[in-house]
Amino acid sequence: RETMATTPATESEPKSSSDFESERIHSYNSSNATFLQKASQPCYFRTANCPDQCVHARITYTFRINSLNVVTNPDSTQAKYCTPIAEGAEYRIDETSFVGIVSDSDSGSGSDGPSLKEIADSLVEGDTVELSWNHDYVKRGMAYSPEYPVTKLVKL
């Protein structure tokens, strides 16, 4: 049984500049990848809130990118500074990047299926997946920073 998850707003990759939600999206990345490991990343005690009041400790998921397709937002003024990950490289994603609950591809009913994180948690070393994510540039307060939300995870 194929397990599939996507976030509703980005089920298909953008084809033109008008398909990007806003300039904040620099690129849409779609890949075929091999799952390598799930690991616990501890807090490194770098702020006054550590470790009791911080959110630095998290679960990470590592994938080897077998093939990659990158669609760059032509309207992004910052995209020229972004270098996509190379094929064959390892790509680590933390648990906060898995957003959204999606429909189950087998039912066709549009009913809620597993979340992206639930699918990631079910992976075992060596599983091949279709993995897609956006490269976003997000303003929080007075600062801008990149975010890489996972938009699709399909166990092949």
- Rounded Cα distance between 55 and 146, Å, is 18
Lookup result for tokens 């390598």: 36
Alpha-carbon span 94 to 152, nearest angstrom: 15
What is the rounded CA–CA span in Å between residue 119 and residue 20?
Answer: 26
Nearest to 102 by CA among 94, 112, 93, 92: 112
Output the pTM of the full model: 0.74
Strand pairing partners for 112? 103
**pLDDT by position in tens, the chain (length 156):** 444 444 444 444 544 444 444 447 888 899 999 999 999 988 888 788 787 777 778 899 999 999 999 998 888 877 777 888 899 999 999 888 887 655 455 445 455 678 888 999 999 999 999 999 988 888 777 777 888 899 999 999
